[in-house]
Each structure stands twice: as C-alpha cells, then as structure tokens.
Chains A and B, each alone.
Chain A
Amino acid sequence: MAALAAATLVAAGVSAQDAKIVIDGSTTVGPIAKQFAEHFMKEKKGLNITVGESGSGNGAKSLINGTCDIATMSRAMKGEEVEAAKGKGVNAVQHVVAFDGLAIVVHPSNPVQGLTVAQVRDVYLGKVKSWKDLGGPDKPIVLISRDTNSGTYEAFEGLVMKKEKIAEGAEYVGSSGAIRQRVQSTPAAIGYVGLGFVDETVKALVIDGVAPTAETVLSKQYPVSRELYLYTNGDPKAGTALAEFVGFCKTEKGRQIVSDIGFVPVPAK
C-alpha cells in the first residue's frame, strides 16, 4: 500500500508532504493513533491523517481490502485473516505500538494483597461473592467494570474472562477515572484500570505473584497484559510519512504520548 501510495504520489507529481494516511481499527489503539495523527499534522502541513475506530476486526478487513494504510489492532491478526490478506496480495506486517497492562484494583483498606487470574475470573463470574473467601473481611464484593464499549473492557474480557460472561450484578461505569473513583470510595469494591490510572488512592493487586508495573508488563511476566499493534501492508519504505508514523512510538515524544494515555510505551531505540 505504501509503495502504491508513493507511486501515485510520484505520478501525480506532489511532494510526500501532501500525503494522506488512512487509519482504521481498534477502539483501544484509536486514541494513540489519534494523538499521533494530531502531532504529525501539526508538524507537517499538508499531511492528512484520518483515524477510524471500527474495531480490530474491521481494521484488519480494511487493510485486506486496501481501504486503509494502517490497521490498528488490540490483538494479533488471526491465521485466517493473514491468509485472506495473502489471497488479496496484501502482506500484513505487524508493529508493536504499545503495551497495555490492566491493574486489578481494590480499596486501600482491603487486606487482600494478591489473587490469581482464576480467582479474579471467579469473582467477576459471581462464583465468589464475599471477600471472606479470598482472605478478607465478611463483606459482599462490589464488582465494578468498564462499559462494554471500551477497549479496556474488551481487554479484560479477553485476558481474564476468557469468553465467559461477567455476572449481571456488576456495575458499569463510563471511564477509567470513574472506576478509580468508585473503588477509592467503596471499601468492598474491585475494579480494573489501565496501569496509567493506578495511584495511591487505590491498591493494585499482585496477580499470580507478579505486581503490575511497566517492567513486568514489558517482560510479559504480568499476566493481565497484551501488546497493541499497527499493521501495514509490507514494511513501509524508509523516509515516507507512513514509515515515520509507524516508528513514532519509539521516539521520545511518541513514548510520552503513549504513557499519557495510560499505556506502557515500547522501549526507546
């Protein structure tokens, strides 16, 4: 796609600065892409970047059909998607843009220090109803979840719930900040937020014996974490706006943007 774009640009006789990048895909990665795009368009006049958020699956579809230059995805491309891409002559290349770690948070007064992923799942399935069963006080657990529209919910669903349904008594809130607010004011609450949202007002639980930190997420020791991707058709040619965009997450400014949004940036070059 990049080569094709470059070819059309040369044919049209315009500079690379007048290029247009179309991005589509995950709602989780969308905010990163949008912030990057904003920064790029401020730096380079004439460069036009559009960012759509239609879901990881639709991003892959768009890349395969050639309607976008970059697909943002919160999961790796599936085998059949790669096959479908090959069938259309698209060579999908994966770039890790950031790491996403979810901290399981409770009230600071809660004596429980750590849980296993299976225990967290049982709590959210409604199988474990009281903190007593987890070594805490005899209080019913108040489940707090992000709304089903959010990428954070999607990540939790995939990493912890493993396709099982969250109990119907769980409360849903509209933002990660609201989860933190609810957990810090509710002694019996449990919630999950991106690593960037953890502060001293809530307690992040140790999961499977690993504390959630940027290091454990990067080393993939922390179990409730995942990589976020950009997919392009072939490796973008060096010097093009596309290549610069894909590599932006490794720069100082790019890493800053990623951690401001609440994700763990990839290590600097």
Chain B
Amino acid sequence: MPSTEPQSDRRPAAAPSLMMSGRRQRWTRWKERLGRSLLFLVASVSTLAVVFIVYYIAREAFPFFRTGHVGEFFASTRWYPSREPPEFGVLAILVGSGLVTLGAIVVAVPLGLAASICLSDVLPFGLRQVVKPVIEILAAIPSVAYGFFALVVLAPLLQERGGHLLSIAAWMVGAPVVALAAVVLGDLAAGRLRGRRTAARAIVTLALLAAGGAAVWLLARRVGGVAIDSGTNALNVSIVLGIMALPTVVSVSEDALQAVGRELREGSYACGATRAETLLRVVLPAASSGLMAAVILGIMRAIGETMVVWMASGNAAQIPRPWFNALLPVRTLTATIAGDMGEADQVTGSTRYSVLFAMALVLLVISLFMNTASEVAVRRTRRKLRA
C-alpha cells in the first residue's frame, strides 16, 4: 500500500500493536463510509421521489403544450373541456384557487397567531396542556368530513341565515380591532400631549371607541341585509379551509414562540418591560422567521386541499364580479383535477387529460415558489436578527 509510508512517517513509533490499530482504523473508516452512503441513499429516496413526481407530471403535461391551447390556458376564463371544440381557459380557476386561499389566510392567520401567542405567553401552563392538543385534534379530522360539514351544515346555514352570520362576523372582527386601535391611538395621543395625560388619553380613546363602534354597527347592518343565494361558495370554503389550516399555523408558530427561550423574556422583564411590550418588542421579532414559516405552511395546506373545495366551493368556473365577492361559487385547480380525472381520458391520452397535468404543474410551480419564498424570508430575518 502506498499509504503506509507517509503513515509511518506521521507516527514514528509504529509498533505491531499500532499496525493492528491502523487496520482497525481502516475498517472503522470503511464502516463509516458505508453508514454514510446508506444514510445518503435514504435521504436521496425522498429527493428522488420529488424529482420523479416533477418529471412525471411534466411528462404528462407536455403534450398539452404542443397543442394550440396554451395561450387560451392562461388568458381565457372559459372552461369547457368536454365540448367540441373544447375550451381550456384556466384563468378563472386560477383566480378561484387564489380567492379561497386568500380567504383561508384571512381566517387562519389572525386566529392562528393570536391562539399561539395566547398558548405560549398568556395561558397558564396547566390550561395550555389541555388547549393545544384540542386544537391539534382539528388536524386529525379527515378532509372529507370537513367537506361534508361544509356541504350539509354550513351551506344551508349560509343560505338561511347568511345576513345574520355576516353581521355577527363583522362584530367579531370589528369590535376587537376598534378596541385595540382606540387604546393604542389613545396612548399615542397621550404621549404627544405633555400636560394632562390621563384626561387626553381618556377623551381620545372614548372618541375613537364611539366612532369605531358606529362604523362597525353600520357595517354589520349593511351586511345583515345580504342574501346568499348559494351556500356552496368561496366564503364557505374559505371558512372551512381556514379552520383546517389552524392546527398547522398554531402548532408551528407556538413552537417558534417557545423556541425564543426564557432568558430573552426574563431579560426583557428585568429591564422593566410589561408583558405586552415583551411580546411585541422582543418575542415576536425574535420568532418572526418561525411565524412566517407557520403562515406559509398554513397557506400550503389551504391551497392543496381538494376534497373540501370539490364538495363545497360550487365548482363554477367564473371570476366573481367584483373579484373579491366570496359569496359566489368558484372553481379551484385541485377540485378540477380531481373532478375531471376520469378513467375515460386516461385511456385515450387526450388533450382533456394532459390539460389536467398542465394544471397540476402550475400548482406544483406555485408551491415550489412559495417554499423557496419562505426559505428566503426565513434566512433574511435570521440574518437581520444576527446583525
């Protein structure tokens, strides 16, 4: 072996016992290499699975891009795949996916973040041990059960009592926002006015409370008169998707808040900060990358959900007018892929079949993009925190 020479150079006291250890060392190194390559193989299986999925979907989608329908795919809202000649406009479906995902974010993110802050920093330990598992049970409910609930309970409820529900929702969202805004702005105003602080604060806060309350009351009255014609619409699905995304958002963000650590919090308290100041100025900034990851994971949960949207979104391939009108039925990418994937098309390998794979590819690109975006965001905040 050529390597024996330098080895004996390095270790001048090369005795027979050490020669033995050299052999053993090689054996150990070989075992190490074996273990490492085994682990590498296991790790690459999951990577390979991703690569294979991307390849397979792209391969099945490819025939679609060779037909003359590509321009129409992104530009047209007309989805008539079964007609002769067929129309494959996916724009309305993309907007539908976007709308329900946006709705789910509106439901899940404020609720989820508030719940996780409450769990990690407000609730006593004993209570938290009970509440967290209960929230996590939401993740264990199968999506078809959510879909059934949306179709059979929520949809008729929206049709019969839509106005009431909307005005209750307006109060539930409006009241805390107004109260918070009034208190914070009152505090700020008091800071500006040097002289009679308490009086100024009280006046500004009360005035804001009155004005905000009136605005919420008007809004609630206005939406109270709305009649919902069809309960299977974007709103219904947004609510249910939001609830489904909640456990993901709560779990991951609560972990992120916990990871901030006791020292940082105690340091903040030691400097004389209140609990609110500690939370807003110390804990949330320190946990922001984790919170971002929680939100993005929640979004991915909502955008990828199929059964609920197929059962309860109405599946109408239209762009609501105005676009944010969540009271109209919409169609999503996932529901279209699931609903239109018939055995029939698989046999013939028609355009109608490959267009579904083109849609799957779009979905895949969106989620890969979001994954990368979250990665970049997390890294950027980490760098900022270090600096």
Q: Which residues of A line the B interface, CB within 8 A?
A: 27, 52-55, 58, 139-140, 142, 147-149, 153-154, 157, 163, 165, 168-174, 178, 181-182, 185-189
Residues A27 and B82 in contact in the complex (CB < 8 Å), given A171-B232, A182-B232? no
Residues A185 and B347 in contact in the complex (CB < 8 Å), given A149-B340, A168-B318? no
What A residues does B229 contact at CB under 8 A? 139-140, 142, 188
Residues A53 and B230 in contact in the complex (CB < 8 Å), given A168-B316, A169-B318? no
User: Nearest Cβ in chain A — how far from B368, in angstroms?
Assistant: 28
A-B residue pairs in contact (CB < 8 Å), sample of 12: A55-B344, A142-B229, A149-B82, A149-B341, A153-B82, A154-B82, A170-B316, A172-B314, A174-B311, A185-B152, A185-B155, A189-B230
B331 beta carbon closer than 8 Å to chain A: yes
> Could you tell me the distance between the alpha carbons of A140 and B318 in the complex, rounded to whole angstroms?
17
Verify A147–B348 contact, CB threshold 8 A.
no
User: Nearest Cβ in chain A — how far from B352, in angstroms?
Assistant: 9
Verify A58–B92 contact, CB threshold 8 A.
no
> Could you tell me the distance between the alpha carbons of A153 and B83 in the complex, rounded to whole angstroms?
11
Residues A172 and B316 in contact in the complex (CB < 8 Å), given A147-B339, A187-B159? yes
Verify B80–A165 contact, CB threshold 8 A.
yes
What B residues does A165 contact at CB under 8 A? 78, 80, 83
What A residues does B348 contact at CB under 8 A? 54-55, 58
Picked from A58, A147, A168, A188, the residue with its CB within 8 Å of the CB of B347 is A58
- Nearest 7 Cβ contacts at the A-B interface: A172-B315, A171-B314, A149-B342, A148-B82, A168-B318, A185-B156, A142-B230
> Could you tell me the distance between the alpha carbons of A93 and B27 in the complex, rounded to whole angstroms?
78
Tell me which residues from 309 to 331 in chain B have a Cβ below 8 Å from any Cβ of chain A.
Answer: 310-311, 314-318, 328-329, 331
> Could you tell me the distance between the alpha carbons of A167 and B288 in the complex, rounded to whole angstroms?
46
What B residues does A174 contact at CB under 8 A? 310-311, 339
> Could you tell me the distance between the alpha carbons of A224 and B205 in the complex, rounded to whole angstroms?
67
Verify B230–A186 contact, CB threshold 8 A.
yes
What B residues does A182 contact at CB under 8 A? 151, 155, 232
Which of A27, A171, A178 has the most chain B CB atoms inside 10 A of its CB? Answer: A171
What A residues does B5 contact at CB under 8 A? none
What B residues does A58 contact at CB under 8 A? 347-348
Convert B140-165 into 0s and 1s, putting 1 for each residue whose CB lies closer than 8 angstroms to a CB of A.
00000000000110011001000000
What B residues does A157 contact at CB under 8 A? 82
Verify B82–A186 contact, CB threshold 8 A.
no
> Could you tell me the distance between the alpha carbons of A172 and B313 in the complex, rounded to whole angstroms?
9
